[in-house]
A and B are shown apart, each in its own frame.
Chain A
Amino acid sequence: MSDAIAKHPLETEKERFGIKEPEARFDLQGEVADDERVRRAMVNFAKDINRTTATYMEACVHCGQCAEACHYYVQTGDPKYTPIWKLEVFKQAYKREASPFAPLYRLLNLKKKVSVEQLEEWQELIYDSCTMCGRCSLMCPMGIDIATLVGLARHGMFKAGLVPHELHAVAERAEAEGSPLGATAQVFEDRADWMADEHETDIPFDEEQADILVAMSSIEIMKYPNSIGATAKILNALGESWTFRSEGYEATNFGMLSGNVDWQRDMTMKLIDAAVNCGAKLVILPECGHAYGALRWQGAAMYGKPLPFKVLHISEYLADVISSGRLKVKKVDQSVTFHDPCQVSRRGGATPAPRVVMEALGVDLTEMTPGGDFNWCCGGGGGVVTIHRADKLRYKVFELKMDQIEATGADTVLSTCSNCRQSFNDAQQHFNWDKSMESLLELVADNLVED
């Protein structure tokens, strides 16, 4: 066990999993001179400048309208939470170092050098108060994908050693142990065995050949293990050739969320290697939002070439097998609303999939307003739920979500993201709220029509 892992014990007793609330914060990593931190941040941010990002950097007119799409601004009224402002120091760096008139900016000092104090101030804006939910990207009149730029800004912040304490700790643990929450391969296999007994179903592990590789998020493994059993029940009912693989089972990617591209690649490659090793034609990703973005949309970039298999979120897979008539489900007399995970719906394009599933289940669905692609984020994505110092702000933005849900009058909230579910359950406890979030996958598994 590394020193860092020993120093940051896991928190697995509370609703919100992660590391225990630190007595002292260590939000600066490494013994590095200030100038060097700034240099690393800027060099690594500059590495991400390409035609797309440069176009975005040049396009902003400072209209400020993105603020109105951001739950942090809407709930607090604090202008510093304006999405494009979260990139201000990086825009400053771009203008000074890489823009068409950069020599002029430097010669006349029209754009000052970014300081370490600025970067430290921006840590809260880049990490604590942005879930990269992409609502701002969907509304920007200039078409700037602000959420993607925040993700790129995190690359520079990581290299500069400016990552919030807990997010860095879970990312480091994920890199070292294969899971941010202690769900090592052995722990996963043990829990899978337990779920096989509980659900009276087979759970294949390390099959040499399988058509489908299934991944799980450590939040599910450690907190919502019924997802493992539910997935197995469904795949077995369909007679699929599938497996979990001990060399690649963890779907979450805290390398990506923390901003460490090398770790992001390592984590993605474990899944890719596992799929290639068993000859999988399809990788099914679990109920996890950012895992979908990490493999479905960024996986090929990490691999350096197109992925040799298809990637589906579990909700897409369920929609496919239900639509084709392969999977039959019983009708469920339940009043529900659905929370769209931002990375699966708005950013991932799979918005219709859960609705196909819910229609088959016959639930009484009342959509939130706004819903679907315009849904408000739960406030826990992008790694924010791991950051203890962001709790107050996270609960503040969650009030927006509570209002949305209460307005539907639905009894149950369904979703397809275990991280959203964890954020919900943590906030539910905080507010003493009578609503909780359930898994759509588990609802399907509980209502299979078996021959």
Chain B
Amino acid sequence: MELLEFARGQGLQIAVSVFAAGLVWRLLHLYLTMRKTDLSEARQGGAKAGGIKTIFSRFVHHEPFRERTRNGTIIAYTFHIGLAIIVFGGAPHILFIESFSGLSWTPLPNVVIHVSAAVTLAALIAAIFRRVLHPVLSMLSNFDDYFSWFITTLPVVTGLMAVAHFGGRYETLLAVHILSFEAFLIWFPFGKLMHSIIVFGSRYTTGVTFTRRGAKV
């Protein structure tokens, strides 16, 4: 019970504090880095709209690239969507979100969450196998890639264990699940998990640049 109390109380406070401070510092660092102005004459207007469009259009590869990137894309989409379903559709998670934001919505049926969790875990396992075995991915990969995978997979595994009451008392399993999520929060600003925020900046920037040129984005 003490572990659960720590996880729900002080542990969560520490995790959120580190998460927030790290996030602010990393984004502030980018914001404070000098901005370079493009002095070239734009071919067309609508650069900002083009930037916003690119944020969304890059969710799907242009047709000529799809075939060669199919496997990686399917795996990535499966666990990203799966994680979103679990986090925003699971009843306990909605209760948790409500506890600090006041926002609440109807949860998805448990069976959907459980199936999503299983599929997500399978996709995460496929992702790590692919990272290890694919010559390009294994060459590119570093500690950040492997640890970020571990810290993302851990809450999924511990969540499934808690739901299945597998491996210990429910309270202990729940505490471990919450702690694993807190570990995720603490690591978030320090590694590649930040891509979930920075991606909007990089896509927007490229979208603006090439929209000004009238080029494909």
Residues of A whose CB lies within 8 Å of any CB of B are 49-52, 54-56, 58-65, 67-69, 73-74, 77, 79-80, 82, 84-85, 88, 99-101, 137-145, 296-301, 303-307, 310-311, 345-351, 370, 373-374
Chain B proximity of A150: nearest CB distance (Å): 15
Chain A residues near B62: list those with CB within 8 A: 138-139, 374
- CB pair B33 A85 closer than 8 Å: no
Chain A proximity of B58: nearest CB distance (Å): 5
Residue in contact with B195 in the complex, picked from A61, A303, A347, CB distance below 8 Å? A61
Any A CB within 8 A of the CB of B215: yes
Which residues in window 62-95 of B have CB below 8 A to A? 62, 64-65, 68-69, 72-73, 76
Any A CB within 8 A of the CB of B177: no
- CB pair A52 B54 closer than 8 Å: no
Bound-complex Cα distance A55 to B32 (A): 12
Chain B residues near A62: list those with CB within 8 A: 137, 140-142, 145, 192
Any A CB within 8 A of the CB of B25: yes
- CB pair A306 B39 closer than 8 Å: yes
Residues of B whose CB lies within 8 Å of any CB of A are 25-26, 29-31, 33-36, 38-41, 43, 54-55, 58-59, 61-62, 64-65, 68-69, 72-73, 76, 134-137, 139-142, 145, 190, 192, 194-195, 198-199, 201-207, 209-210, 213-216
Chain B residues near A55: list those with CB within 8 A: 30, 198, 201-202, 205
Chain A minimum-CB-distance residue to B26:
A100
Bound-complex Cα distance A167 to B145 (A): 36
Chain B proximity of A45: nearest CB distance (Å): 14
Bound-complex Cα distance A141 to B73 (A): 10
Chain A residues near B30: list those with CB within 8 A: 51, 54-55, 58, 100
Interchain Cβ contacts under 8 Å between A and B, 19 examples = A51-B31, A54-B29, A55-B30, A59-B198, A61-B192, A62-B140, A63-B137, A64-B140, A65-B65, A68-B68, A99-B29, A145-B209, A297-B213, A299-B40, A300-B41, A304-B39, A345-B215, A347-B213, A349-B215
- CB pair B136 A64 closer than 8 Å: yes
Residue in contact with B207 in the complex, picked from A63, A143, A306, CB distance below 8 Å? A143
Chain A proximity of B16: nearest CB distance (Å): 19
Chain B proximity of A329: nearest CB distance (Å): 24
- CB pair B41 A64 closer than 8 Å: no
- CB pair B72 A143 closer than 8 Å: no
Chain A proximity of B34: nearest CB distance (Å): 5
Residue in contact with B36 in the complex, picked from A50, A56, A82, A348, CB distance below 8 Å? A50
- CB pair B202 A67 closer than 8 Å: no
- CB pair A68 B65 closer than 8 Å: yes
Chain A minimum-CB-distance residue to B51:
A143
Chain A residues near B54: list those with CB within 8 A: 143
Enumerate the 5 nearest inter-chain pairs by beta-carbon distance, A residue then B residue, closest first: A143-B203, A349-B214, A300-B39, A349-B215, A370-B64
Q: A73-B136, A88-B140 are in contact. List 12 more A-B contacts (CB 8 A).
A: A50-B36, A55-B30, A63-B137, A64-B72, A141-B59, A141-B199, A297-B40, A300-B39, A304-B39, A305-B39, A370-B64, A374-B216
Chain B proximity of A56: nearest CB distance (Å): 6
- CB pair A349 B43 closer than 8 Å: yes
Chain B residues near A300: list those with CB within 8 A: 38-41
Asked, given contacts A64-B134, A67-B136, A141-B61, whether A306 binds B29 with beta carbons under 8 Å apart, the answer is no
Chain A residues near B135: list those with CB within 8 A: 77, 79
Chain B minimum-CB-distance residue to A145:
B206
- CB pair B215 A142 closer than 8 Å: no
Chain B residues near A305: list those with CB within 8 A: 39
Chain B residues near A82: list those with CB within 8 A: 136, 139-140
Count A-B contacts at CB 8 Å.
163
Chain B residues near A51: list those with CB within 8 A: 30-31, 33-36
Chain B residues near A374: list those with CB within 8 A: 62, 64-65, 216
Chain A residues near B215: list those with CB within 8 A: 345-349, 351, 373
Chain A proximity of B202: nearest CB distance (Å): 4
- CB pair B216 A346 closer than 8 Å: yes
Chain A residues near B76: list those with CB within 8 A: 63
Chain A residues near B39: list those with CB within 8 A: 300-301, 303-306
Chain A minimum-CB-distance residue to B144:
A62
Chain B residues near A140: list those with CB within 8 A: 58
Chain B minimum-CB-distance residue to A110:
B143
Chain A proximity of B70: nearest CB distance (Å): 10
- CB pair A349 B213 closer than 8 Å: yes
Asked, given contacts A56-B202, A143-B54, A347-B215, whether A63 binds B72 with beta carbons under 8 Å apart, the answer is yes
Chain A proximity of B133: nearest CB distance (Å): 12
Asked, given contacts A51-B34, A68-B65, A349-B213, whether A59 binds B195 with beta carbons under 8 Å apart, the answer is yes
Chain B residues near A58: list those with CB within 8 A: 26, 30, 194, 198, 202
Chain B residues near A49: list those with CB within 8 A: 33
Chain A minimum-CB-distance residue to B140:
A62
Chain B minimum-CB-distance residue to A68:
B68
Chain B proximity of A122: nearest CB distance (Å): 14
- CB pair A100 B206 closer than 8 Å: no
- CB pair A54 B33 closer than 8 Å: yes
Chain A residues near B29: list those with CB within 8 A: 54, 99-100
- CB pair B33 A50 closer than 8 Å: yes
Chain B residues near A373: list those with CB within 8 A: 215-216
Bound-complex Cα distance A67 to B68 (A): 10
Bound-complex Cα distance A304 to B38 (A): 10
Asked, given contacts A52-B36, A62-B137, A300-B40, whether A142 binds B65 with beta carbons under 8 Å apart, the answer is no
Bound-complex Cα distance A52 to B202 (A): 7
Bound-complex Cα distance A435 to B191 (A): 50
Chain B proximity of A354: nearest CB distance (Å): 14
Bound-complex Cα distance A63 to B131 (A): 9
Chain A residues near B64: list those with CB within 8 A: 370, 374
- CB pair A351 B40 closer than 8 Å: no
Bound-complex Cα distance A99 to B68 (A): 32
Chain B residues near A50: list those with CB within 8 A: 33-36
Chain A residues near B36: list those with CB within 8 A: 50-52
Chain A residues near B142: list those with CB within 8 A: 62
